[in-house]
Amino acid sequence: MSDYLLHRVGHGMGVMFHEAPWVEAGDETILEPGMITSSEPAIFVPGFAGYRIADTVLITAEGPDSMTHYPRKIDDVVIGSTS
């Protein structure tokens, strides 16, 4: 399965849209209240399909707060079909 997970989970957002911290294995940055990151889990199956959902996340003292609101059910976000 990990062969299909070809993208980091997310990244920091600031002056430069794609910037540290990199939300992925190996980045040991501690996320602190006030930071904004993306959350972009994705799966790509060569020759078949790919799917990524992206959120903007505010880190708060209580935990992450997704600032992106849109449908989440698979039937609501599929664009086309290969059948």
Q: Is residue 83's pLDDT more than 70?
A: no
Give this prediction's pTM.
Answer: 0.74
Q: Are 35 and 59 in contact (CB under 8 A)?
A: yes
- SS3 of the chain: the string is CHHHCCCCCEEECCCCCCEEEEECCCCCCCCCCCCEEEECCEEEECCCEEEECCEEEEEECCEEEECCCCCCCHHHHCCCCCC
For residue range 27-80, list pLDDT tens digits in order.
Answer: 999 999 999 999 988 888 888 888 888 899 999 999 999 999 888 787 877 776
